[in-house]
Amino acid sequence: MKIVVSFVCGGVLSLALYLLVFDRPVTAPPLEVSQGLAHSYDQLVDSLAQAGDFVESHPWYGSEREQAEAYRHIMRTLVAAIEERFMHDPRFPYFRIINPNNKTGMDNPDQRYLIAILDGSHEYRIWGSRGTSRRLDFVLYEDVTEGRTLGVLSSDDLLVSGDGGFEVIVSPERQPGNWLRSEAVPGKLIVRQTFSDWASEAPGQVHIDRMNMAPGEVPHMNAAVMTQRLQALAAAFGEQVRHWPEFNRTVAGRFPENWLSPLRQVGDLGGLPGRLMALGHYNLEQDEALIITTWPSAAAYQGLQLGHHWWQSLDYADRQTSLTTDQARLSSDGAFHFVIAHRDPGVWNWLDTEGFQRAEMLLRYDGLHPPEIPDEQIPRVEKVPLTELFDHLPKDEPRVSPEQRAEQIAIRRQHVQRRYGN
């Protein structure tokens, strides 16, 4: 028995000695503190605090809903800036995809945007499959706020192989086949896949590579690179979180309420060249409705959307806050009558305000040659009492059942899931 006890005690003492010598906490060596890293991180923290001060003092910081969206605007802008300015490397690019979590700048609900920041001293290859989207357009801008357009490759001019594949070269010198002109300046490439019939159209694959890249060229992360990226993130976030609400206040905000601006080409404002667009904002009481009347056109795509004052689209997956002419129903008088109202009035072309008493309206036409609308088909806007809505529509305007509305929403959600792969 003594032998057993001695053996056990000896084992315990041996284990204790082992733990004492070999498993005790190890003191880490002193960190090499980079003042550049610490300072750049402080800049990012300061920009977040300043963003809160900005939205709280802004005219759009009104209703409880608008206040909540102000902070979602901050968070979405931060996510977008992290993806675009912190994670990216123009020498080894990937596309950033705008989705419901990171959308800014009044994204079109009918488009899948792919964005890459490019170094004008390099050449790039974009490749993939066309898919069945209504349009696939490529525009390269100078990488500054509201930068000038450097090059455009329209969906109308895109060469696609028999199996649906394509290749686009981005370079300063003209190339055979699909070519997008660049310059020796930083650039922002935006690829737009446009969908009109959400029930049937699906995205293709779009990828990007830098050309003439040597294997193993990707550098390791270090303090200098991290400092630069944090500084770029703080600057881009601070600028973008202010830019779009101020753009709305100083441009769209100057228009009368419940009215649409004249159609104009918006390439000079950073939009897609050749596009016609009208802007406006509504302000409706619970018992009011706004009727927007448009007509069929030769445009490849025509769509109307709503967005809130922080200049972001409303929920377009689980609510009907946008419609294209493929999704809408044509009335017996040959026109599309879109109805903006806080409650579902039972018409097919209802646009849900999502509870915003005031918000934005954007109407787009793409693929018009020439980009013109006849005077008799200029969009019209009429505010009416909600109880008198059907007095202002064709007498045979059909009603929509709750089951039909649910089917509309189900199609929307399924398309958005397919579009973003989630």
- Tens digit of each residue's pLDDT (9 = 90 or more) over 82-120: 999 999 999 899 999 999 999 999 999 999 999 999 999
Which alpha helices (H) appear in 161-310, and where do they start and end? 223-250
HSE (CB half, 13 Å, CA atoms) of 96? 25
pLDDT (tens digit per residue) in 269-280: 656 777 899 999
Mean pLDDT of 379-393: 98
Omega within 30 of 0 (cis) for the link into 379: no
Residue with structure tokens 């190890």?
Answer: 26
pLDDT in tens, 372-385: 999 999 999 999 99
The CA-based dihedral angle spanning residues 394, 395, 398, 402, taken in that order and rounded to the nearest 10 degrees: 100
Distance from C-alpha of 143 to C-alpha of 223, rounded to nearest angstrom: 25
**Which pLDDT belongs to residue 28?**
44
**% of the chain residues with pLDDT over 90:** 82
Q: Indicate whether 17 pLDDT > 70.
A: no
pLDDT at res. 34: 64
Model pLDDT for residues 133-152, shown as the tens digit of each residue: 999 999 999 998 888 899 99
pTM: 0.89
Query: Which pairing describes strands 178-181 and 165-171: parallel, antiparallel, or unpaired?
Result: parallel
Q: How far apart are CA 34 and CA 42, in angstroms?
A: 13
The per-residue pLDDT for 370 is 85
Long-range contacts of 86-90 (CB under 8 A, 24+ apart): 86/229, 86/230, 86/232, 86/233, 88/116, 88/117, 89/218, 90/116, 90/117, 90/118, 90/119, 90/122, 90/186
Nearest to 252 by CA among 276, 293, 282, 289: 282
The 10s digit of each residue's pLDDT in 169-223 is 999 999 999 999 999 999 999 999 999 999 999 999 999 999 998 777 777 889 9
The answer to whether the Cα torsion of 185, 156, 304, 264 is positive or negative is: positive
The reported pLDDT for the residue numbered 32 is 52
Select the more confidently predicted residue: 24 or 393: 393
| Banded model confidence at residue 268, pLDDT cuts 50, 70, 90 | low
pLDDT of 31 > 60? The answer is: no
Evaluate whether 297 touches 373 at the Cβ level (below 8 Å): yes
How many Å apart are CA 167 and CA 207, to the nearest integer? 10
Torsion angle of C-alpha atoms 392, 393, 394, 399, degrees rounded to 10 = -140
pLDDT at 9 over 70: no
* pLDDT score of 11: 46
Residue type at 252 in one-letter notation:
A
The share of the chain scoring above pLDDT 70, in percent, equals 91
- Supply the DSSP symbol for 86: I
pLDDT at 239: 96
Mean pLDDT, residues 315-323 taken together: 98
**pLDDT tens across 326-344, in order?**
999 999 999 999 999 999 9
In tens, the pLDDT along 41-80 reads 999 999 999 999 999 999 999 999 999 999 999 999 999 9
Q: What is the mean pLDDT of residues 251-269?
A: 86
The conformation of residue 257, written as its DSSP 8-state character, comes to: B
Q: Is the pLDDT of residue 24 over 50?
A: no
Give the pLDDT band (50/70/90) at residue 12.
very low
